[in-house]
Structure 1
Amino acid sequence: MISVEQVGPLATIQDRGRPGWFDSGVGPSGAADLASLGLGNRLVGNPEDAAGIEVLLGGLVLRALRDVLVAVTGAPMQATIDGIPVGHASVLELAAGQVLRLAAAPVGLRGYVAVRGGIAVPPTLGSRSTDTLSGLGPDPLRPGDQLPVGRAPSTYPTVDLAPVPELPADRVEVRALLGPRDAWFEHAAALFEGDWVISADTDRVGARLDRRRGPPLARARHGELTTEGMALGSIQVPPSGQPVVFLADHPITGGYPVVGVVLTADVPAIAQARPGQHLRFRPAVFGT
């Protein structure tokens, strides 16, 4: 069992999500940066689908009510145990009564706390993820919450520390493919020209972009588009011309044209990008 003593701007329980419910109007949700949660689970010897804690910007304080093994990954929030700094993306031992504290991240947006055995809150539709759009899953964490920890797996961690690349502090570059509604724009390739900026209007649903430099995404066709399915990483363009890149809690349908789609492997980079950070799209190239 782990006790939540303080919470920063937002902390939620996340796993790999609940795919397979689109026909019921339910999106997959899950960790915004699946790669970082997956790394944390590997470090503590968990299966990939174990639930952990997603932390926005930092400020989370946890107290172990029994001995637990944890790892902190994602945005590099300086972790301390009883005030002593410990390594990022490393295996950490918390004895009963010890306190893990995460400071504010200097770069990046979301950090993850993986616990050996996983956070064992009751699943909803097969997942323990909090979906901030639909309200499914456990509530966001609050001080005083006590989180159950599942049974430790039979495998045991084989590394103490994982080398991870530093998150960019300036411009983020991601790969994208045009379509399926690029014909709705006068010059869809303008998506790849110049820079965009992550706006303050960004959350687990999506990251809204402002134009920093380059031509606008002007419509060639106007009117309403028949509602159609939306995928993770879809770049939807409302009438304002400010694209929205859909993230983990995105709606599963939408009526605005999608000019392109970010490759799934690059979605975590947008999930970690902060408001004010520059973003550049690159055309995805395969076979080279």
Structure 2
Amino acid sequence: MTGQDGGFEVLATGPQALVTDRGRPGFAHLGVPPSGSLDRPSYELGNRLVGNGSGAAGLELLGGGLRLRARGARIVAVTGAPAPVRAGGRPAASHTALRVPDGAVLEIGTPVAGLRMYLAVAGGLAAEPELGSRSTDVLSGLGPDPVAAGDVLQVGPWAGPVPPAGPVPFPAVPTQLRLRVRPGPRDDWFTDPRAALTGPVWTVSPTGNRIGVRLDGPPPPRRTSTLGRELPSEGMVTGAVQAPPDGPPVVFLADHPTTGGYPVIGVVDDADLPLLAQAAPASTVRFTVLG
């Protein structure tokens, strides 16, 4: 990632900037989470806009604040949470292919809604893969280090061309989320699991990260027969709603631990997880039970 030549010199990163791609699924037996982009549709859109193949590495940005100086003319796209973009000091559009001249500074500001933005670069970032992925995994430490000021981001070869598309529409980031959830596999540990999930209006805690999102609200009541007991560690999946005995539930995201001992009351549908990835603290969540 760091060298004398490359596609961009990093001037500032904001709260967090990580290399991301489609992740490394299939290694849970080794204790390795799937990782990869949390808002997969936004990540995929960026690659399509710049003409990359599926799976090209880009950046996932938390909270904006990224400033890069182009080393050579580059084509990029900024997707995900809406945020101000500037190239060479001039306002630029997001959700479209954008040409950044050699030496120009690309700036991505603080999002006006949501949390995470994605930067796709024509050719993809040329980070070294580990277990088939270039994604940074904040739990296990696999993949490139978090991007820091002074790094040089190298870019892979690109054949082009840029697809003929102008700015594409993107959905508004909601502050009130409706998430579909499938009960189980340990919903029998709770007195009324459906009511425990669908009754409260949950609030997104500010303590969440790529490992999981904590939902502030009433702990799901356990059956009397389970009080004082805990499960042996068992496998966990992305979207699992894990309910500890003395606090609110946590919804696991892509860098989650692969095992856990607290019962899982339900699993959020994969298609709804990008909404949770963009949920800012104080956003509200209501669950709808599937099945």
Identify the TM-score tier after normalising by the shorter chain: over 0.9
* Paired amino acid for 2:187: D
- How far apart are 1:194 and its partner, in Å? 2.8
Helix, strand or coil for the counterpart of 2:206? strand
Residue 187 of structure 1 corresponds to 192
For structure 2, the 5+ residue unaligned runs are 1-6
Report the RMSD for the aligned CA atoms in angstroms: 1.2
- How far apart are 1:80 and its partner, in Å? 0.6
1:180–1:258 CA contact under 8 A, matched in 2:
yes
Residue 4 of structure 2 corresponds to none
2:219–2:245 CA contact under 8 A, matched in 1:
no
- How far apart are 1:155 and its partner, in Å? 5.1
- How far apart are 1:160 and its partner, in Å? 2.3
Residue 59 of structure 1 corresponds to 65
Q: Structure 1 pair 253/153, CA: closer, same or farther in 2 (3 Å)?
A: farther
Residue 74 of structure 2 corresponds to 68
CA distance in 1, matches of 2:30, 2:171: 39
CA distance in 1, matches of 2:220, 2:14: 36
Helix, strand or coil for the counterpart of 1:160? coil
- Per-residue CA deviation, residues 181-240 of structure 1 (Å, 9 max, x unaligned), is 1000111112011310001110000000101xxx64111123111211111100001122
Residue 9 of structure 1 corresponds to 15
**Counterpart selection for 2:261 from 255, 265, 269:** 255
1:164 is aligned to 2:177: no
Helix, strand or coil for the counterpart of 1:37? helix
Structure 1 segments, 4+ long, off by >3 Å, are 153-156
**Counterpart selection for 2:83 from 48, 52, 77:** 77
1:171–1:277 CA contact under 8 A, matched in 2:
yes
**Counterpart selection for 1:218 from 218, 221, 243:** 221
Residue 39 of structure 2 corresponds to 33
Aligned residues: 281
> What is the percent sequence identity of the aligned residues?
49
1:175 is aligned to 2:164: no
* Paired amino acid for 1:217: P
- How far apart are 1:158 and its partner, in Å? 2.7
CA distance in 2, matches of 1:107, 1:90: 18
CA distance in 1, matches of 2:138, 2:201: 29
- Per-residue CA deviation, residues 94-124 of structure 1 (Å, 9 max, x unaligned), is 1111111011111101000000110111111
TM-score where L is the length of structure 2: 0.94
Residue 3 of structure 2 corresponds to none
1:238 is aligned to 2:244: yes
CA distance in 2, matches of 1:33, 1:151: 25
CA distance in 2, matches of 1:61, 1:284: 43
- How far apart are 1:283 and its partner, in Å? 1.8
CA distance in 2, matches of 1:155, 1:236: 45
CA distance in 2, matches of 1:153, 1:26: 33
Residue 112 of structure 1 corresponds to 118
Helix, strand or coil for the counterpart of 1:107? coil
1:218–1:241 CA contact under 8 A, matched in 2:
no
2:219–2:249 CA contact under 8 A, matched in 1:
no
CA distance in 1, matches of 2:184, 2:173: 28
CA distance in 2, matches of 1:161, 1:136: 34
* Paired amino acid for 2:167: L
TM-score where L is the length of structure 1: 0.95
* Paired amino acid for 1:178: P
1:45 is aligned to 2:51: yes
CA distance in 2, matches of 1:114, 1:232: 24
* Paired amino acid for 1:203: N
Helix, strand or coil for the counterpart of 1:267? helix
* Paired amino acid for 1:127: S
Q: Structure 1 pair 192/153, CA: closer, same or farther in 2 (3 Å)?
A: farther
2:183–2:290 CA contact under 8 A, matched in 1:
no
CA distance in 2, matches of 1:175, 1:138: 33
CA distance in 2, matches of 1:197, 1:19: 29
- How far apart are 1:164 and its partner, in Å? 1.1
